């Protein structure tokens, strides 16, 4: 009798095609911010204090906590210390470094250089006498950081096309717009078109403010959305760019898109009749979480994975000088 005659029949796993969007996951600004915390811990030891989540990802934050990072929402939660105090990648209002200086804190700014570019643009427009319209989402730390570069009332937030149609500035001859870096490319283009139609003299950025990583990740999702039954976006619920990927997938022809933080959150019932699934990750989600999702899919299905690449990213940002210099003996 052969072994196969005695073994129980194993249920055959159903085939599932997985289209893996590329680019996905970490962008250069996120990678730099995480490096800053890790280098500060290596050079100065624990604790290293971080104002706000360094990037919007719970897995990343918990990993850094385990290494000795202490996360706070405001500087007044930090005791008097000579240890580094790091500002998150999203940028901070000018009042924050000013408060740190008043307490003689050793502050290190991990603001993404592309967010800093928006700060510089807004400051320049204000210095040239313009009223600034900021396209973005209320309450997002990046919006708070950009607004906080200037005096109260200097910036007006535009959150939607309807808002852009309704706004009535006092002086339409002196207007400029800047944008949050993690918005929907299509939504932002619609809002900008409205502003330009209503205010032909409005001044915009020399180069679009939406960052390359946001643009590239949305383009990659558009490339797979019409070919899959479900798109899984790995990211955090407070991550703007991750939420936009869900919206972009559904608008681009995918019947259903979901946001999950970890593989344990996969709603398996949504895959009951799926023949193809798309997988991507927001700019603050590490690749290890994508691997975790692929492993979970492989345990239930006979998967074939095809990577769909729409751009190749080679951008990297330098860390601050104080972390590149060797520690004093």
- Residues tagged active-site: 142
Pair 247, 271: CB distance under 8 Å: no
Question: What is the Cα 168 distance to its own chain's centre?
Answer: 31
E strand map for 155-221: 155-158, 175-179
Place of tokens 């009223």: 131
23: exposed, middle or buried (C-beta count within 10 Å: 0-12, 13-18, 19+)? Answer: buried
Pair 251, 51: CB distance under 8 Å: no
220: tokens are 């990659």
Output b/e per residue, 67-83; b: 16+ Cβ within 10 A.
ebbbbeeebeebeeeeb
3-class DSSP state of 211: coil
Q: In what order do the strands lie in the sheet with 175-179?
A: 155-158, 131-135, 175-179
- Say how far apart CA 198 and CA 169 lie, in whole Å: 11
Q: Measuring CA to CA, which residue among 187, 197, 131 is closest to residue 160?
A: 187
Q: Measuring CA to CA, which residue among 186, 212, 199 is closest to residue 132?
A: 199
Torsion angle (degrees, nearest 10) of CA 42, 48, 53, 57: 30
Output b/e per residue, 284-293; b: 16+ Cβ within 10 A.
bbbeebbebb
Kindly give the pairing relationship between strand 302-309 and strand 276-281. unpaired
């Amino acid at each position: 009798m052969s072994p196969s005659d005695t073994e129980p029949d194993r249920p055959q796993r159903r085939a599932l095609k997985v289209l893996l969007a590329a680019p996905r996951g970490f962008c250069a600004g996120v990678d730099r911010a995480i490096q800053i915390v890790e280098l500060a811990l290596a050079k100065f030891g624990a604790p290293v204090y971080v104002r706000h989540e360094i990037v919007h990802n719970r897995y990343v934050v918990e990993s850094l906590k385990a290494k000795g990072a202490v996360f706070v929402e405001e500087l007044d939660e930090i005791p008097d210390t000579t240890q580094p105090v790091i500002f998150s990648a999203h940028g901070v209002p000018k009042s924050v470094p000013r408060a740190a200086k008043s307490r003689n804190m050793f502050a290190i700014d991990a603001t993404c250089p592309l967010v800093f570019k928006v700060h510089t643009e807004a400051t320049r427009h204000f210095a040239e006498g313009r009223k600034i319209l900021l396209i973005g989402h209320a309450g997002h730390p990046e919006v708070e950081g950009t607004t906080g570069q200037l005096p109260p009332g200097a910036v007006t937030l535009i959150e939607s096309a309807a808002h852009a149609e309704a706004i009535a500035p006092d002086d339409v001859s002196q207007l400029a717009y800047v944008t949050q870096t993690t918005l929907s490319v299509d939504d932002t283009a619609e809002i900008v078109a409205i502003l330009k139609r209503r205010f032909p003299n409005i001044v915009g950025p020399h180069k679009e403010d939406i960052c390359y990583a946001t643009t590239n990740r949305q383009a990659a999702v558009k490339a797979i959305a019409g070919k899959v039954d479900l798109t899984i976006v790995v990211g955090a619920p407070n991550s703007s760019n991750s939420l936009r990927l869900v919206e972009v997938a559904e608008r681009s022809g995918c019947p259903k898109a979901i946001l999950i933080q970890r593989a344990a959150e996969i709603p398996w019932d949504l895959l009951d009749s799926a023949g193809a699934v798309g997988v991507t990750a927001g700019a603050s989600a590490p690749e290890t979480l994508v691997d975790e999702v692929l492993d979970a899919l492989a345990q239930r299905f006979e998967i074939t994975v095809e990577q769909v690449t729409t751009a190749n990213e080679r951008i990297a940002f330098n860390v601050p000088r104080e972390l590149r210099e060797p520690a004093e003996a």
